[in-house]
Structure formats: structure tokens, C-alpha cells
Structure 1
Amino acid sequence: MARQVTPQQITKLEAQWRLNRAATINDVVDNNITNEEEILPILMRYNDGFQYQRSFGPLVKAEADYDKNLKESQALEHIQVKWALGLNNRHLASFALSTYETTDLKVAVGDEIILRYSGSAMEPWEGRGFILRLPNSHQEEFTLELNPSKQAPPTTLTTDFTAEFVWKGTSYDRMQQAMKDFATNEESVSSYIYHKLLGHNVAPVELDIKMPKHFSHPKLTELNVSQTNAVRSVLQRPLSLIQGPPGTGKTVTSATIIFHLSQLNREKILVCAPSNVAVDHLAEKLNMTGLKVVRLTAKSREDVESSVSHLALHNMVDNSAKGELKKLIKLKREVGELSSDDSQAYIKLLRVCESRILSKADVVCCTCVGAADKRLAQLKFRTVLIDESTQASEPEVLIPIVKGAKQVILVGDHQQLGPVILDRKAADAGLKQSLFERLVFLGHVPIRLEVQYRMHPCLSEFPSNMFYEGSLQNGVTSDDRVVSGAMFPWPVPETPMMFWANYGREELSGSGNSYLNRVEAMNVERIITRLFKDGIKPEQIGVITPYEGQRAYLVQFMSINSTLLDKRDEYLEVEITSVDAFQGREKDFIILSCVRANDSQSIGFLSDPRRLNVALTRAKYGLLVLGNPRALCRNKLWNHLLIHFREKGCLVDGPLDNLQMSMVQLNNYERKAAKTAAAKERETPLAIPHAPGLKESLWPPLSTTNYTSANTISANFYSKLHKLDEKYEELHASLTESHHTTTTDHTIDYQGLAAESAAATAAAATASAAVAASKRQHRDQEQEQVRERSEFGPSAWHHVHMTNMKNPHRMKLSPEDVKLILYLIVEVKPFKYVGNRSQSQTRKWELIQNKYYDMKLKEQNNTNFIVPTVRTLQRQLVAAIRKGESVRNQQLESGIDTLHAIPNTLAEIDADEYYTFQHITLMSSPEELERALLDLHELSDKIKQLKLESSNLMKGGGGPRIKSSPAISLSNSMELLDTYSSSTTQRLEELSTLLHDQLGRCKEEVQSVSGDFHKAFELLESILVHAHEVQVTMKRDTEFVKAKVNRILELHVEKMERAKEEFLVKQADYGRQIISIFKGEFALSGNEHLANKFANIEEMLE
């Protein structure tokens, strides 16, 4: 019998393919990869720095191990090398890699490579060097600068070379050291920063400073209102977050902040970013302010040209060197290597010169990892600013912070793409979340820049409304973004954007792990040709795509199929890259190729809202999107984008010179429902799979803050915090749905986490007398609630924001409240066999209460309401089913047939899209909601009937006797609801007993004839024993079930749940398959007696 491969094993096999292309499923199973130790998820809050280190340390190690294995496994054989002579007479070797080889590699300028020659033309040769240039849109080759060596490189040979990547764990070691310093070194950060990063509720402070009269710098762009407010706020706070949406001037704002902080404090400032490009850009702006800026680069990047090379420390040393140091520098360039004595003298003099230059600097700029460079070891930085902080992992951002920071400014945008994490386990455990995001979750409100200067106003409308709550204003007008003389066939001339519907099919690329779309590639070339005819230059155009396979195919296609032969070279100059690589950059015209077009409703990378945000916000003058709207509209966010294009008259198809409005049918979401769904999706990247916190009682006592001049921030600030806490509570309601980790010493109260934050915020913003009065009132209300819970059961809702507490069981619901309840029931589906089967019905009813609370709080903007109890919700459900049945009976009597036929099999039911109820929104009528609930009720009964029939097949009987449904009334409403939650214990027990008895008799006869089938019987018996364990553990409390299953089966809870589900769905197949094997074997061996025995059992099962 063929081995069954689980989805988890497939995922692990894909990960193994990155390291070993010849890996098979046997490698996954035989090496016990499926039983690897699970990495624990990060927390939201920590007791102390040691717990912080224990949480992030294993994640950094897992990422380091994965990166090491990946690079060491990428030995590139039989490559062709092109030789050239570079600066300082050093040899340059250039070679290209296939698309497959570059897909998963995390390669950067400065990485070390070993180049070997193993051919027969000469003796074997080996040389080491550093990557000088990476592949880009203009060339597909790596360029390696070789280190000087005694053996000259074979520059006359071009084939039979091998390249190996040399892994260096410097960056990961520096992350680990930063976490260690954070935990053990009290001077690494101030007390305030320490407790803020751990997530403790510390009283907010304002720094006592003298505000500048003018915030804008004369050499930089004039600041707008939101930028000025950001600068003013940052100067007063020890910890600040600045959210800079696309094109809002983050760099200018950051440079202005650094200038004023330097003038106020007269201390060195450390400015960092995760990438060298971002550091160079910021250093260039800072140099314009007149500050003394030093750009610190890694030794391996000193020969890489940049726009700020004149600010680089090594170049400053060369230019200022005198006497002996100058002679040694010249000798080193000429010879390549110095003698031992000269080398020691050179290093000593070099360090003195570097220290002198750094001591005179106002600002030091470097990457986050570069902040741990030995040349900065003796320096402390009171102020640290980190640009693009949302693109770096938290341990990476911590490296510059632990250089003595007392004031930290994080700049970024958590609505754009986050850090790149190679190891999926580490990413899922929380390493892909930035420190910026975690602080936002903890209630730290970022200061948002609100004026964008990049996009044509029509291009900024959708990103502003979808990702930034409509807060973005336009700093440019439509007239500022018009290309004179251009005749491009925009569907609406005043709106330079369009979605061009392409219906080509996606294909797997040559690598086997990416996609391409030939039709879209052909149309990209047509668009570029038309732009060229309008006088647009290649450097003004950018082509972006989420898939490496499409990028490689586009580069190849452009080199072969260029329409304008006289401009063939210009086609190759157009930059073609991935969406992720284009973050932080811009072009006048952007062409986005979506690629995906299939029938499986999968759009892969495109479903990430942050990736879509980046893709849509790169263009200044015009945006062209090519994709299959039929495939993309299945995703709610993309459906909303397509609706936006259609409303603007820009959703088109047909030839480029004769575009027509596309009549493709999009999903029929109501506007309000679409906004709600899209808003949830755009918040999804912020949510971590596991985001636990710690109860306030477990936190250590906070030491007195270093800031004696601390002032209280205004209540206005806390009103913003409270609004954020509302969103935070909504996010955590969804987090608890998927939480299934086992209980540890740091068990987390998810539902109370947001409430703790909100309570702390309110306490800090209220006078002590008001707080005391509020506490007394809350205590009285809680006592009243305790009394009512004891009277009416545990279903009574527990929120403490009610101002007029009444008996929740006797409250009168308005029609709007009833309608909201019915809508939430349709959305959550609290039935036994319908909806999310991994959740208990109790959990579903609680989820409905949570959503009701959130929506009512936002709707009323006050707290004067009561959340219905579960009993009240259930009564509304039963009443709605009864009304829906009455209306349908009347329609049938009138000859109107509106029934939706329920499919006859479970597989067909799962495939029926009707039961997703995408047509149901908050705008739906009560009749539609009642009809939907009736359909859900009947669907649940149907699924139950199918499962009972499947169970009875094993007993040899016919179909189960289904009792006619009794009339539904309030008196028997709970009986109806109980049918939804009936246990599967009895069916499992009956199945186990039946098969065990039948096969026990067969086993006795088999053993008397042959022992060949002994293992087969043991396998089946283990299945039956497992079923018995399942039915026993199902009777226990949920948390006890987790612990019990871990002890008995030594497996995770999800494996037990999967086994239980498979056993229920395929219980008949287990018996048929094993019995069919026995029957066939005995028939072949001539044992007719046993063959007939098994044939009779098989007939019974049929």
C-alpha cells in the first residue's frame, strides 16, 4: 500500500530540497525530521532580559543554521568565468548562475566566495575573493574581486570552474551578543528603554529640552505639518516610532531630527538601517545639513563605489594619512601584502587615525549589524535612530540600541514588507516580526507622516484608503505628474493607471519552484515599446513581479523579442526585478506582472497585503497592472482593487491600441462588507501566529526612571492609545482562534492582554481621585456580575465597561442588535459539523460575543451596552431558523422554489462555495439572514446524517433511521442545539468493538496457517487502540486532552486531531483495505476457506 504523505512532511521536504536537490520523502522520515524539536514562539512581553534572550536566541540560531546549510550546499559547478582587471590591479571574475541557483540564496555584496579551477589544462588552482556586484536588470552576473595571492589566477581559462559560498556567522553572532548585553549589561540601555522593550507599562516621560524656533533646515526640503509634528514629538520622547508611508519623506524627516538632536545634546548620534543603500541615502542627506558625518563600512565593502564614498571612514583615513601611515598605505596598494613588522605598524597607526576621525564626528552611519564593529567598541551613543526598522528582525535592531541608548527613534512602515527570514520555523515563531510592530501591538502609537510627494493623486487613492485609513494627503497635483507629449492609450487620459486583463496561463518555471506567464511577458514588452515611442527613457521604467521565474523569463524575452530593433539595447536597460527588491525605490512608470492564473483559487505571494501595498506605491507618473482578474478576484483585497479600477474606468481588456472596458464578473461583495474584509486582511501581517503576554502580577518591580524631569503626557495622547487598544483587542481575538501551543510556566491570558493595556492606559491618564472612584464602581459592578453569573451560569458576559448594569438575560434587543447577532452567527457558524471544525462550539459562541462587543463599541463610541449571553444568542438562532422555515414553507405553497440543493457527499459539500455565504453582509435583510441560518441548520443535519450512514455501513446495516425533525419552538430550542454538539464517542466505540471482534477471529485462523500477516494485524490493531484512546481523551477537559495525548502518543495535538478526523471520515476504508489484502493473498495461496471468510466480511462492509 502506498505511503501517505502528510502536508507537514511535504513542507519539510520542500525545505530539504533547498539544501539537497536529490532529497526524497525517505530523507524526511528516516532522519526523523518530522520529530524535530519545535521552536517556541516569541512573547509579546517579558519578565526580564534573560527571558527575552531565551526567547529570541533559539530563533536566531535556527536562522543561522539554515543560512549556513543553504550556502554550504550551493557548490556551483561547471561555471564559465569572464576575467577583467579592476581597481588596485586586482583581478575580477564574473560568472552567471541559473534561476534555480539564485532563487533561495541570500547573497550580499561583500560575501566571500572560493573560486576553484579543476580542469586538465593546468594544475588545480584556488582563489578567494569578495562579491563586488550582484546581478541586476542590466547584467545577470556576479562579479568577484579576488584577494592577492602568490599563485596568479588562470585568466586565460574560462571553463571548468567551481564556486563555493563561504558562510560567515558574524551577523548572527552579533545578534546573540546584543541580546546578552541587553540582559546582563546595565549600561547597554537606559532603564526606561529596557522596560519599554520588554513590554512593561512604564509611566511616559517628556524630555526637558528647549525647542528650536524653526524646525526645517535651509539645506533640506521644507517640512510639512505632519513632518514638523513628528520632529517636535521625537525631540521630547525617549522612545519614538515614525511611520512613513510611501513617498512621505521619511529620509528628510529623519535627517532633520538628527540635526536638531545633535545641536541640542552635542553628543555623537548613531544612525543605522538594515541595508547599505538606506544608510548611504540617509548619510547623503545628513551631510547636506553641515554635520560631520562618518560612514562606517565593512572591510569587505571598502572597494564598493557609492554616492557617499567621500564620507567613508577608510577614504577619510587615506585622505588624512601622513608620514609613516601614508607610506604604508601606498606600499600595501602596490605590493598587496605587507611584511609582519610593517603589518603590525600599519594596524597600530590605522587604529589611531580611525579613532581620531570617529571622535570628531557628529554622526556615525552604518548598518545595524555594522554597529557592533570593533572600531566602535569604545564609543557610546546616547541617541540611536534606525531607518527602515520594519525591514529588520528584532535582534538585528537591538545591536545598535545596546550601544548605550537613552533615546531611540525607529522609522519604518509596518504596512510594507518586513524582514526576510529564510527558516520557516523561525519566521513562524515570530522572527519575521520587527520590533516596530511589537511595540505597536503593545500600545505605542506611531507618529504617521501624512503627505506623499511621489504618486499621481489617482495612484495614491487606493493605498491611502486601504492601508492608511484614508489619511494620506497629496503633496503633488495631477499637473505635476503629466508627461508632456506622451500619447499612451490610457483608458481614462486624466487617470494614468490601468488594470489590463490578461488571460494567459501560469506555468512552472525551469527551477520548479517559481512561476511564469508568457502572455503577460509578451504584453509587458508591448507596453515598454509604446512608452519608448512616447519618448520615455529606459531608466524611467520599472517592471516588477512577485516571482523570480517571471523576472528571469522577462529578461530573456526582452533580449530576444524587442519590437524596436534600433532600441534593442534600451530594452535591456529597463530594470526588471521582484516586488520585494523594489521596496524603498521609485520609477516614473511601473509595470506590475501578477503572473498567477489557475483554477485552484491560489494566488500565492499576491495574497500578502503588504506586498500589494509596495507594488502599487512605486510609480510616480503611471501604473500598469497585468493580471487575470478571474483568478485575482477570489481574494477579497484584490477584488476590492479590481472594483476600484472598474469604478475609475481603468479595468480593460483587448489589444493595447484598442482597449475596452472589461466585462469580467467580479465577486459581488457589498461595498461596506468589502471594506471590512479588506481592513482585516491588511491587519493580518501585523498579527503574529503566537503573541502571548505576561500578567502584570508576574512583572518585576520597575526601578525609578533616569529622567527626573518626567512629565505626564496629555490625555489626548491616551485617547489615541485607547483607540489602538480597541484594534489590538480585535486582533488578539483572532489570534486565540489558532492558538494551540501546550501550557508552560508562562501561560498567557490572551483575552485579558488588551484589557490590561487599556486599563493601564486609563489609570495613567486619570487623576488619582477619579481612579479610586472608578475602581470602587468597577468592583461593585464585578460583584453584581459574579452574583448574576452564579444565578444564570457561566455564559454571562464579563466585560467591565458597562455603565448601566442590568440583568443581561432579561434585556430587550433592538432589531439592529438582532440583525447583528444573526450576521455574526452566519459568519462564525457555531454548529457541530459546519464552519471551523477545529474549534469547539463553546469557543465559537465566545468568538461571536467578542465580535459583537468590538462592533458595538466602534458603532456607539461609548460603553453603554450589554453583550448578550450565549443563551440569548442561541435563542435568537432558534427563532431565526423557525422564521426561515416558515417563510420557505409559504414560498413552496405559492409555487416558488428557492431551495439550494444540498450535495449528496461530504466532498461535494466542501466544494460547494454557496455555504461560504459570501453574499451575506451587514447590509443583508433579516429575511436573508434567517434563510442563511436555516440553510446552515439543514446542512449540519445533512453532514451528521452522512457521517451516521458511514458509521452504520461498518455495522452491516442499511442507512440509519432518521427521525423526522420536530417542530422548532423556544421550549425545545436547547434540544435542537444539543444535537449539533453530540459526541462521536459512541460511534468510535462501536467501530472499535466490531472490527476488533471480527478481525480477532480471523487472526486466530491466519496464525494457524501462516505468520506472514502478523505485522498487518498489528498495524490494524494499533489503529483500533488509537481510536479507543481518542474516544477516551475526547471526554476530558481541553487542556487535559493536550497533556494526556502528549504523554500517551508523544505527538502534538494537531496530529491527534488529524487522526481523529481521518478516522471518522475514512473509517470504512481502513477495514476494506486490509481485508481486501488478506482476501487476495489467501486466494493466491489457495486457502479458499480463509479467502471466503474475508470475502463475506467484505460483502458486509459493502
Structure 2
Amino acid sequence: MHHHVTPLFPSVQDVEPGARNVHLQRLKEMGPYGSMQELLQLHIDLISEDYLCALHDQLNTLRLNPELLDTPDHYEIRGDAERFLTRGRFQHPMGIEFHFDASLYSEVEWDEEKRLMRNNLVFLTDNNLQDFVVGLIHASGQKLLQKGCIIIKIIKGFDDRGYPVLDDQAPFIGKTWRMVESSQFHFPFLQVTNILRKEIGMVTLRNSFGMAFEFYDEIVYGIVQPAKEPRYTSEMETLQIRRLRRDMRDELNSSQYTALKKVLKQRVALVQGPPGTGKTYLGGKCVRTALVTDTGVKPLHEFVSGCGVHAFCTGSVLSDAVHAKVAQLLVSLKRLYPNVLSGPILVVAMSNHAVQEFLVRCKAFSDKIIHCCSDKHDRGGTQYGDLQKLHDQSHPRDKAAVMASAEIIGMTTTRASCVRTDLDRLEVKIVIVEEAAEALECHILAAIPIGAQHLIQIGDHRQLRPICAHEGLARTYNLDLSLFERLVNNGADVPMLSEQRRMRPCIADLVRIIYPNLTDHACTLRRPRVRGVDAGDPVFFMNHGNVEKKESKGYSNRAEAEIAVELANYLVVQGYDVEKITILTTYRKQLRIILQLIGEEEEDGPKKVRATTVDSFQGEENTIIILSFVRFNLTGEIGFLKMANRACVALSRARDGFFMLGNLECLASSQVPVWKHVKAVLTKAGRCGPTLPLVCPHGRRFEVESAADVRAAARGCQICVLEERFGSKLSVT
């Protein structure tokens, strides 16, 4: 098959107009690949094209709209001097020190905002991008940026390995440029692509040097029937494993127990976890489960602090993580058989927030935790102990030795690929992938260390798919197909957790078309009523006629945004903490309007109510969700809301109260089965209409249909006003 060779660092020719003319092949949804080399090369080609297409679109938009270059997002910089790093008798070029007017960015929190990050690409132009040079940010720490300083290497091309060749830096000194930062962070692309290129050379003839050796058949051919057990389990006593499972049975429901048994029996294991099915519960209970006592082994809670767990997280929020239970069980086996399971357990997912969520749970049984990240802010302020401090203070060359002393280590897939050489030395036997259906397959392949024997993927292909830089490329070439979903398509045996404890049943009813076997735990029947809302309507779709506004990239609906913010304000007045309420929306343009409206409120209003997009809220939940759908038009076009995956996430985040704002007829007219089902369920229950029924503490009912109506309801009835004025309860006769 033909492959184009894409450099690790793009040249001007790669992103200039008309440059995108390459031969690509689709990733297979089903069926086998011819070899591991073919699979890896396809991924390299597609993620390279995904990255370059996004760059091309960004630069082309600026060429066509040169006035956009004059905004603060694009920096006017001047080259001052070339900088060198001196090591012994040698000087190594660091790049050119450029300066910009720092006063224009006095309100920017450089240590928190993802701007001008080290190892990202920039494009320098003096003629509105009619031509430009490519640069790589070499140094851009907080202190430098606050002074208006940044060090950039100018690239003129690349060598035969795909690495950059520096241009003569002298012509760029003393000249003023307009600098455009790549909207797609270059570093993850660089690290993953580099690892996959190395793997192609290592898996020749299926040798034992590549990460693919143990999982070759499953990854290349898509499925192995019957499923093979992990190699290390053959060296353990089957009786011990069975007893360990039996000790946990009383603390698991039947679907969790079934999943646990299959995970231990399959070297490439998958578990599907629908929303709210107790994956976190599954993780925590194993920590407290006693091990076999008649073998002289101490209960788990007595020795768990001595277990070695290394967590490498690549995905989204771990608040729903079934793998935590599995990980702790495998740690128990590791403790029983230290000679067999000599290396750490790796857990992979997609974001630092996910890493933090996982590691916080581990603090209960270990004080030897390290969260490896580029910035302390990525840890969310969490403190893990002395080993974390030692790691933070260590020189980069010493960090690997500190990591070897840890019991638990967390990092993103990008960092895992960056330190793969260190990971390969850790003798890892078990890799766990959290939110596996949301991770690009190439990112997972790049994170599997040499010598791994057990790959466990936990996810839900019915929820969000992996996010690519270029949506069109993802659809055309299946780049957004995860390894998890590909194995499901090929007939893998995937146990599904079936009992949910998150949503009250009337909320869960909305997604039963996606999960027909989803059942409700008894605790969901005892949820408290939503204060300030008619007791019979903890779920309601407020059907309005406010038409959407189409913008350059996305849609908005200001009237709907105003209702959402006022409803959040109303619920705060009813006594809810702002942390208990989240406003979700399906478009970033709408999110900007909502955030602006929240910012205009008083400090004690809904200013601290969190607002975010549905995609960003994957894996999270809250007591009350207010969902702004945005879309309403006469043609019934609803954009990506046609995707059942996004609908599933949007409809399954609320625990007690769920209030939807939009036009139900528009959604249902799209002929998407999910929305037809939602309309039928809500209509039958009488939980949709043009007015939302609110009720004050004294029983007065308000039928609201606008932001002004909700604002009036927040003031309450006359008795409410008098009580607020005089500060005491009034008796009504």
C-alpha cells in the first residue's frame, strides 16, 4: 500500500494553499489488517493529515480575513537576539529571543491559560500570511511571558528522520513580525507520531521488542475466539484468584461481578459502563476487601499501602471508573505474586483532570503518589505527599528514579508517550484504559509499554467518540473510531454494567432506547423533590419558539441563554448551593453568551454556577442540570445533535432535576430515534410544554416562559416579599 511520509514538523509547503493533495486510506470499522505495520502507518498518515488540515484551515481563514490578525490573539513581536545554551565548551542554539508589548496582556493569567505553550508551533509573517516562516516555541515560562519575552526556533525544513532543521536565525533579528500560534497543540502529535514510527521498526516479524507482541492478534485481526487469558495468570494459583473473586461477590451486583470475572480471564478485556452504573463504587470496594486469610496473607486493607500501582491517565473524568475496582483487585494479585507481577499497573485515559480524579481516590490507601504533569495547576491544587514534592523539585534527569519509588503515578497519554523509554523499563504487565471509547486508538497504542501482558479497556462506545482536530477527516476516514469500538464491532465479548445509581428513573427513562437493559437501583426512587419546582416535574422540557442564530462557526440562542441563567439564579434563591447546579449547552458560541450573562450577575447570584459544553462534561454529573439545546429552525436541521452519542451524554448527567430548554418539535422532526423517543416519553408523562411550572414556598404557582418570568418568580409571591423585608415567617390564615 502507498504511504506518504509526513514530517514530524511541518514546513511552509505542508500548510500553504493547495498543499493538501495526499493519498489516504480509511481505518477499518470491522475486519482484520494485514499487519501491525499497516495499522500503525495508517494511523500515522491520518493523524498527520488531521493535524495539518487543521493548521491549513486556521491559516487560510486568517488569509481571507486579514483584519483578524490585528487582534490580541495574534502577537506583534520583534526579534532581539539569538540565545545559546552553554554546556562545557560547547554552545547550543536555543533560538531567537522575541519581545512583545506585555502591557496588552496584563490581565492574562499565563500560568493558567493554555497560550504560547512550550513545544507548540508558531507562524511568523510580515505580509498577512501571504508567506510565512515556521517557528517552534522553545521557552515561554510565566516569568518570561509576563516580561513580554519568548524564545523561538525558526525552522527551514526537516531531515530524513522528520526532525526540524533550524534556519539561519540572524535575518530575523531586529525585524517586526506578526505571530500566529497553532490552534492545535503540536506536542501531542509529535510524541504520538514519534512513538508509532519507532514501533513500526520494532514489530517487524512480530518480534518481542515492540509493544504489540502480546496483543498482536487482537489489535491486528480485531478479535480472538476463544479469548486468551493473560500470560501471567498461568503462573498463579487458580484457587487464589477464584477465592479473591468470591470474597468480592457480596459487594458487587451481578453485572459488576460478571465483568470482573471476564476481565481476569481475557488478556484484552473490554467492559462497557453506561452512565451511572457504579464504576466508582466498583473501584472503591475492592480496596476494603479482605484477601485470602488461610494462606497467611494479610487482608488487603492491612497491606494495600505497600502495593505498587502506577496510573497513567489519558482520558476524561474518572468519577465513573470501573477500572479502579479492577486495578485494586489486580494489585491484590500483584501482592500475592510479586515475582510474577513485578512491574507497576498502568491506567490510561485523556486529561490531567482525569488523572487528578483517579489519584485523589488513591490517597486513601497510599501516600506514595506522583502526578506527573508540566504544571502544578494541572493537579488542581491537590497535594499527594512528600514523594510528589521530591518529584517536583528534582532535576528532569532524576525524575525517573523518583518515579520508580512511587506506588501510584499519574500522567496523560501525551506525557506517557514522552517518557515511554522510562515506562518500558518498568516491566509493566497490566495496562488499564479508562474512558477507552473516547481515546484515539493511536494514543492508546503509543502508551502501551514493552512487555505488557494484560490490556483492560473500560468505556462506553454509546457516549462520546474521540475528538479529532478536523471533523471532516474524522468522518471520512474513521479516525474517530476508538480501539474499544473497533473490537466491539468485530464481535468482542463485552460485559455491560446494567444497574445505575445516578439518575432518578424519570431521567433514566430518556436513555433507555440506548440502553434497553438499564435498571434502576432502589436508591434512585428516594431522591428529594426539586425545591421551587412543581413536585411532579423534576424533569421538564421547556418548549420555546426562539429561533437560533447562525454564526461563523456554530449557533447561539440568546433568549434561551437568558432563561437558563435566570433559572439557575432562581434555584440558588431556593437554597441550592451553586456547586449543585450546572448549565450545559451544545455549542461553544452559546456557552460564551451564558458565561457573559453569568458574569453580569451580582456576586451572590449564579456567578459561580458552572457552565460548560456537553462534550466537556463527559463522565461528570450534578444534582441539577439545565440543558440549553440552542437549535430551532423551520427546516428541522439539528447538526451534530443527530449523533446518538452526544444525545446520550446530554441526557444522562442529572441526578435529581433535569430542565431542558429548546424546541422539542425541531429535535423530533429530525427523525433521529433518540429524539423521537424523548418526545414520546416526555409527552406521555406531561413533562413538556411552553411554560415551566415553578412554585414558591407558600404554594403559589408560576408558569414561566421567558427570562423575565423566571426573574419575577425568583422574587416570589407577596408573602415571600414581606417575609424577606421583615426577616421572619408570616402565618397565612
Interval containing the TM-score (normalised by the shorter chain): 0.5 to 0.7
**Structure 2 CA distance for partners of 1:556 and 1:660, relative to 1, 3 Å:** closer
Q: Distance in 2 between matches of 1:187 and 1:94?
A: 51
Report if the CA contact (8 A) 1:42-1:430 is conserved. yes
SS at match of 2:624: strand
Deviation at 1:95, TM superposition (A): 5.2
**Structure 2 CA distance for partners of 1:522 and 1:306, relative to 1, 3 Å:** closer
Deviation at 1:410, TM superposition (A): 0.8
Superposed, 1:319-330 pairs within 5 Å as none
Deviation at 1:576, TM superposition (A): 1.5
Report if the CA contact (8 A) 1:271-1:364 is conserved. no
1:589 aligns with 2:624: yes
Q: Distance in 1 between matches of 2:482 and 2:18?
A: 32
Report if the CA contact (8 A) 1:271-1:366 is conserved. no
Q: Distance in 1 between matches of 2:145 and 2:351?
A: 28
Report if the CA contact (8 A) 1:80-1:96 is conserved. no
Report if the CA contact (8 A) 1:259-1:289 is conserved. no
Q: Distance in 1 between matches of 2:246 and 2:43?
A: 40
Superposed, 1:669-1068 pairs within 5 Å as none
Q: Distance in 2 between matches of 1:425 and 1:275?
A: 24
1:204 aligns with 2:232: no
Report if the CA contact (8 A) 2:118-2:137 is conserved. no
1:634 aligns with 2:669: yes
Residue matched to 1:471: 518
- TM-score, normalised via structure 2 length: 0.66
Q: Distance in 2 between matches of 1:549 and 1:150?
A: 32
SS at match of 1:447: coil
**Higher Cα Rg: structure 1 or 2?**
1
Deviation at 1:217, TM superposition (A): 10
Residue matched to 1:369: 414
> Structure 1: 5+ residue runs without aligned partners?
1-27, 82-89, 98-104, 119-125, 132-143, 154-159, 319-328, 330-345, 663-1102
Residue matched to 1:79: 72
Residue matched to 2:459: 412
Superposed, 1:222-237 pairs within 5 Å as 222-237=251-266
The AA in structure 1 aligned to 2:384 is H
Residue matched to 2:96: none
SS at match of 2:363: helix
Q: Distance in 2 between matches of 1:307 and 1:215?
A: 36
Residue matched to 1:621: 656
Report if the CA contact (8 A) 2:572-2:606 is conserved. no
1:64 aligns with 2:64: no
Q: Distance in 1 between matches of 2:656 and 2:622?
A: 8
**Structure 2 CA distance for partners of 1:570 and 1:224, relative to 1, 3 Å:** farther
Residue matched to 2:312: none
CA offsets per residue over residues 882-928 of structure 1, 9 Å max, x none?
Answer: xxxxxxxxxxxxxxxxxxxxxxxxxxxxxxxxxxxxxxxxxxxxxxx
Residue matched to 2:156: none
2:192 to 175, 189, 195: 175
Residue matched to 1:653: 690
SS at match of 1:431: coil
Q: Distance in 2 between matches of 1:644 and 1:225?
A: 28
Residue matched to 1:4: none
The AA in structure 2 aligned to 1:555 is L
**Structure 2 CA distance for partners of 1:611 and 1:625, relative to 1, 3 Å:** same
Report if the CA contact (8 A) 1:77-1:163 is conserved. no
CA offsets per residue over residues 555-609 of structure 1, 9 Å max, x none?
Answer: 223344x5xxxx5543221112111111111121111111111112201122111
Report if the CA contact (8 A) 1:496-1:623 is conserved. yes
Deviation at 1:39, TM superposition (A): 2.3
The AA in structure 2 aligned to 1:554 is I
1:575 to 610, 623, 646: 610
> Structure 2: 5+ residue runs without aligned partners?
1-14, 63-67, 75-101, 127-134, 151-175, 203-207, 284-321, 695-700, 706-733
Q: Distance in 2 between matches of 1:312 and 1:62?
A: 43
The structure richer in helix per residue is 1
1:460 aligns with 2:497: no
SS at match of 2:661: strand
The structure richer in strand per residue is 2
Q: Distance in 2 between matches of 1:470 and 1:543?
A: 29
Deviation at 1:287, TM superposition (A): 3.5
**Structure 2 CA distance for partners of 1:648 and 1:295, relative to 1, 3 Å:** same
Report if the CA contact (8 A) 1:39-1:425 is conserved. no
Q: Distance in 1 between matches of 2:482 and 2:644?
A: 17
1:48 aligns with 2:77: no
1:351 aligns with 2:368: no
Deviation at 1:269, TM superposition (A): 1.2
1:39 to 24, 30, 44: 24
Report if the CA contact (8 A) 1:114-1:164 is conserved. yes
CA offsets per residue over residues 469-498 of structure 1, 9 Å max, x none?
Answer: 23333352332x215xx54233xx245100
Q: Distance in 2 between matches of 1:540 and 1:249?
A: 20
1:262 to 320, 323, 331: 331
Q: Distance in 1 between matches of 2:544 and 2:368?
A: 53
Deviation at 1:200, TM superposition (A): 5.4
Deviation at 1:170, TM superposition (A): 3.1
Residue matched to 2:528: 482
Report if the CA contact (8 A) 1:242-1:412 is conserved. yes
CA offsets per residue over residues 482-529 of structure 1, 9 Å max, x none?
Answer: 15xx54233xx24510011111111124xx222111331232233223
CA offsets per residue over residues 220-240 of structure 1, 9 Å max, x none?
Answer: x95433223322321222111
Deviation at 1:553, TM superposition (A): 1.5
Superposed, 1:598-617 pairs within 5 Å as 598-617=633-652
Figure out how many residues of one structure are paired with residues of the other and give that number. 547
Residue matched to 2:181: 165
Higher relative contact order (CA 8 A, sep 6+): 2
Deviation at 1:645, TM superposition (A): 0.5
Report if the CA contact (8 A) 2:227-2:267 is conserved. no
The AA in structure 1 aligned to 2:272 is Q
Residue matched to 1:294: 370
**Structure 2 CA distance for partners of 1:517 and 1:201, relative to 1, 3 Å:** closer
1:145 to 142, 145, 155: 142
1:432 to 474, 480, 494: 480
Residue matched to 2:541: 499
Deviation at 1:264, TM superposition (A): 1.6
1:387 to 428, 434, 453: 434
**Structure 2 CA distance for partners of 1:363 and 1:80, relative to 1, 3 Å:** closer
Residue matched to 1:773: none
